[in-house]
Chains A and B, each alone.
Chain A
Amino acid sequence: DAKTTQPTSMDCAEGRAANLPCNHSTISGNEYVYWYRQIHSQGPQYIIHGLKNNETNEMASLIITEDRKSSTLILPHATLRDTAVYYCILRGSGNTPLVFGKGTRLSVIA
């Protein structure tokens, strides 16, 4: 059973911010929100993760709602190379595996 819900696909104009939503209404208190992406024919790549607070790194920002039932991954200035499938994944504390759903296919358009 999927623990996260993501739109199947999204488009974004090059240079604009890409905002990718993820719903996780049944998230547990000890579950982290992880984002990975998979560029066509490549292995997945880690982007960012968070528990409660918003997080930012050189690739993206992660905004988690106060009730933690949803989150948004933000790519501030999308480029054509950001075209990929983006996976939102919940992981419990401890040694728990990554469980990939179908993700969101983001197409960045020139």
Chain B
Amino acid sequence: NAGVTQTPKFRILKIGQSMTLQCTQDMNHNYMYWYRQDPGMGLKLIYYSVGAGITDKGEVPNGYNVSRSTTEDFPLRLELAAPSQTSVYFCASSEHALAGDNRDTQYFGPGTRLTVL
């Protein structure tokens, strides 16, 4: 049981380039999330999904796109990379999302460190 896996671990992009950050979970979780974490700050929610085919915006969605064609995968697409997108990106999943339900624990991947120059 690998949990949540993310690829790549590191990436350097030039301004204007595009890329896809991959996220896969093997826990059959319905809910998946993308966060970004800037240096010295907490995590900010970019997008989330409540199941295959359903996605919704979080706090900082601009400059990103997501899709959820399967339960396992939740890729994050960066179009026209900008220096402001230099950050560490974390993917997470949970079985449920209702606060107080013990099944709402979010399990995080190891992160992708992205630098845009």
Residues of B within 8 A of A31 (CB): 99
Residues of A within 8 A of B35 (CB): 100
Residues of A within 8 A of B98 (CB): 93-95
Residues B99 and A32 in contact, CB atoms below 8 Å apart: yes
**Given contacts A41-B111, A44-B90, A103-B42, A98 and B100 within 8 Å (CB-CB):** no
Residues of B within 8 A of A42 (CB): 108, 110-111
Pick from A36, A44, A49, A102: contact of B41, CB under 8 Å = A102
A41 to chain B, nearest CB (A): 7
Residues B92 and A92 in contact, CB atoms below 8 Å apart: no
Q: Who on chain A is nearest to B109 by CB?
A: A43
Most buried by B among A31, A43, A87, A100: A43
Residues B100 and A51 in contact, CB atoms below 8 Å apart: yes
Judge if A97 is at the interface, Cβ distance under 8 Å: yes
Interface footprint category on B: 20 to 34
In this complex, how many residues of chain A approach chain B with their Cβ under 8 Å: the count is: 26
Task: Write the A36-52 contact mask toward B (1 if CB under 8 angstroms, else 0).
Answer: 10000111111001010
Judge if B105 is at the interface, Cβ distance under 8 Å: yes
Judge if A91 is at the interface, Cβ distance under 8 Å: yes
Residues B111 and A92 in contact, CB atoms below 8 Å apart: no
B15 to chain A, nearest CB (A): 26
Cβ < 8 Å to A, chain B residues 17-45: 33, 35, 40-45
- Once the chains are docked, how many angstroms separate the CA of A19 from the CA of B59? 31
Residues of A within 8 A of B97 (CB): 95
Shortest 7 CB-CB contacts between residues of A and residues of B: A43-B108, A100-B42, A91-B99, A100-B43, A46-B105, A95-B97, A32-B99
6 inter-chain pairs at a CB distance below 8 angstroms, sorted by A residue, are A34-B99, A43-B110, A44-B43, A87-B42, A99-B45, A100-B43
